[in-house]
Structure 1
Amino acid sequence: MTLLLRRTASQRVQKAPSIDSFYPFWFYIPAGVVYGLMFLVPTFASFYFSLTHWTLFDQRFIGLDNFREFFAEPFLLRGLINTFIFGFTTSAGKVALGMMLAVLLTSNIYLRSLLRSVIFFPVLVSTIGIGITFTVLMEPHQGVINTALQYMGIQGPRWLTSPSLAIYSVALVEIWRGVGLATLILIAGLVSIPTDYYEAARLDGANAWQQFWRITVPLSRPAVATVITLSLIDGLRTFDLVWAMTRGGPGFSSDVLASVIYKQYQAGFYGLSTAGNVTLFLVIAVVALPIVAYLNREES
């Protein structure tokens, strides 16, 4: 009986948590503090200030009046539609073009490393600089793009001055700007696929197209999911490229949610623009989270 009590006491002593058992969790504290200060505090502050009429020196709680006024904005629906058009168009374009470039740049071609650097280079350039440059290139009368089309006997469109074409023109520039990062991620996914699968497929008589659809596409799903997620979130919250190229014009035809919010901020409606930011945050969450959950479920 005494021996049994000693064993029980010894087991209790061994199971008692010591200060050393919490040691690994100490490393979370700096990251948690930075995350709280840089993300959680501003997020909750935005939710609070969206319910107030505020300036730099004063604030007054007004409830949901900012949201009612924001949703009554006459061009909000146009901005919301353009946000979805831009987000889904650029995401699909980056995935499709990025996959083609990734397959090309993982094959045995001449100057492969140089071409990878060239494809990635636009990612390193300022978005505002890219927007200003393409505004000049897409000028309908003297721009380089339409001038080159004229030499081929093609009448170039009014890229940025046509209400029905402006948002798609900006989307094309965004695809060109961001496809380098998508290609880099997809290259990492392709090179991680074991070559044994391709050798077995060739022995079974599969051609290159069958290998792509039966091996490359399924096994690169994690990389594709990452590209879709990053591209979609980046496209839904876009502002800088649209503002640099069209400022939401002509008229309000290429406005996105972020540019509508910025125009309210320019007019001095700080509480209204904060409510718009909260709305944009919720829109991105509602659209992106189910897609991310679906992609992760398919991956698993």
Structure 2
Amino acid sequence: MNRTAHLPDRPPALDRNGPATAKLPARTAPRRRPRSQQWAAWAFLTPVTLYLVLFYAYPLYRNLDLSLRHYTVRSFVQGDAPFTGLANYRTVFDDPTFGPALIHTVMFTAVCLFFQYAIGLALAVFFNQHFRLSVTLRALFLVPWLLPLIVSASTWSWMLNSDSGVVNAALHIVGIGPVNWLTSPSWSLTSVIIANIWIGVPFNLVVLHSGLQSIPASLYEAAALDGAGAWRRFWHITFPLLRPVSAITLLLGLVYTLKVFDIIWIMTKGGPADSSTTFATWSYQLGFGNLLPAFGPGAAVGNLLVLAALVFGLVYLRVQRKQYAS
């Protein structure tokens, strides 16, 4: 019979400094991924990298190169344009069109963003009630967003026509005289703003409605038990909790609105008398709208739009970092 099996465990051996500590197992070095997994990761990453380089990095580089050289039609084909530094940017800043185009771009962007977000948020809150036919009506609101821009812009051009447009016909019924929506310098910018708001509202509706779905219903129930009305529940629950979604919605809307070209060009071509010219349409006019195209100044105007979008993107990232840090 083995008596050692019934003996108590021996106490840890003592040394001069106290009981001996048990040795911890040594940390094993992290296992390296198999080479097959590394090749698979690079295989998935390569198409995305090529897409970004070909369709984003290279066009940005070419646009920057165009703005720093004096390109003509011949030098554009042969590629021997002389380097001029910031001369094209000085030409743009000295152009009398720069001031009005800057004001129109700021007005167009700010007004469109405000009304697109406000109307989209109101519709998102409305459809969040989950009433009957809410899904069907919400789907119908997506139609302006799904239509091609050339169709939407052409439709608004017909509706706002001074002679045969339905808008002036409706104004005539209520006793208001016809308005030259597209041919008057006082109304042309307003016309393209209205059309762009109509096109951009569905995007805000979809994104903000998805944000509302993530807000727990228990918060509204607790607020209602405390006696908070619908308006207070909106300002103290809905609006604060939608801030992250609202920030990305406004940023994407800003980038989209800065580069709007199709709607303005189809409806007014930036006129009359440059009354609806923005940086996007002006860049096109400089580069492709004349018999003697100014590729350098046109690229410089385009780079100003890229710089504006980049600045607002960096501001957004900085604000997000502060929020996560706090």
The verdict on a shared fold, with TM-score over 0.5 as the criterion, is yes
1:225–1:292 CA contact under 8 A, matched in 2: no
Q: Match of 1:51?
A: 68
1:159–1:169 CA contact under 8 A, matched in 2: yes
Q: Does 1:162 align with 2:176?
A: no
Q: Match of 2:305?
A: 280
CA drift at 1:121: 0.8
Report the residue type matching 2:311 in the other structure: V
2:247–2:316 CA contact under 8 A, matched in 1: no
| TM-score, L = length of structure 1 | 0.88
Q: Match of 1:32?
A: 49
Structure of larger gyration radius:
2
Q: Match of 2:159?
A: 137
Q: For 2:32 and 2:99, how far apart are their aligned partners in 1?
A: 58
1:248–1:255 CA contact under 8 A, matched in 2: yes
Q: Match of 2:234?
A: 212
* Mapping of residues 105-144 of structure 1, within 5 Å: 105-144=127-166
Report the residue type matching 2:57 in the other structure: L
CA drift at 1:281: 1.2
Q: For 1:59 and 1:220, how far apart are their aligned partners in 2?
A: 53
User: Which of 197, 210, 224 is residue 202 of structure 1 equivalent to?
Assistant: 224
Structure 1 vs Structure 2 CA RMSD: 2.4
CA drift at 1:238: 1.3
2:251–2:313 CA contact under 8 A, matched in 1: yes
* Mapping of residues 158-237 of structure 1, within 5 Å: 158-237=180-259
Report the residue type matching 1:95 in the other structure: Y
SS of equivalent to 1:56: helix
Which fold has the larger relative contact order, with Cα–Cα distance below 8 Å and residues 6 or more apart in sequence? 1
How many positions carry a matched residue from both structures? 291
Report the residue type matching 1:165 in the other structure: W
Q: Does 1:262 align with 2:287?
A: no
Per-residue deviation, residues 136-190 of structure 1 (Å, max 9, x unmatched) = 1111232101111211223343222221221122111111111111100011001
Judged with a 3 Å threshold, the aligned counterparts in structure 2 of structure 1 residues 197 and 104 are, in CA distance, closer, same or farther, namely same
User: Which of 69, 86, 106 is residue 108 of structure 2 equivalent to?
Assistant: 86
Q: For 1:30 and 1:58, how far apart are their aligned partners in 2?
A: 29
1:52–1:59 CA contact under 8 A, matched in 2: no
Judged with a 3 Å threshold, the aligned counterparts in structure 2 of structure 1 residues 107 and 156 are, in CA distance, closer, same or farther, namely farther
Which blocks of at least 5 consecutive residues in structure 2 are unaligned? 1-23
Report the residue type matching 1:103 in the other structure: V
Q: Match of 1:15?
A: 29
Per-residue deviation, residues 20-55 of structure 1 (Å, max 9, x unmatched) = 498386343432232222211221222122211232
Instruction: Out of 74-83 and 152-161, give the one that drifted further.
Output: 152-161
Q: Match of 1:4?
A: none
1:261–1:277 CA contact under 8 A, matched in 2: yes
Judged with a 3 Å threshold, the aligned counterparts in structure 2 of structure 1 residues 18 and 108 are, in CA distance, closer, same or farther, namely closer
Q: Match of 1:242?
A: 264
Report the residue type matching 2:197 in the other structure: I
Q: For 1:166 and 1:286, how far apart are their aligned partners in 2?
A: 29
Judged with a 3 Å threshold, the aligned counterparts in structure 2 of structure 1 residues 77 and 298 are, in CA distance, closer, same or farther, namely farther
Which blocks of at least 5 consecutive residues in structure 1 are unaligned? 1-6
Report the residue type matching 1:152 in the other structure: V
Structure with the higher fraction of residues in helix conformation: 1
Q: For 2:239 and 2:110, how far apart are their aligned partners in 1?
A: 20
CA drift at 1:287: 4.3
Q: Match of 1:65?
A: 87
Q: For 1:179 and 1:38, how far apart are their aligned partners in 2?
A: 28
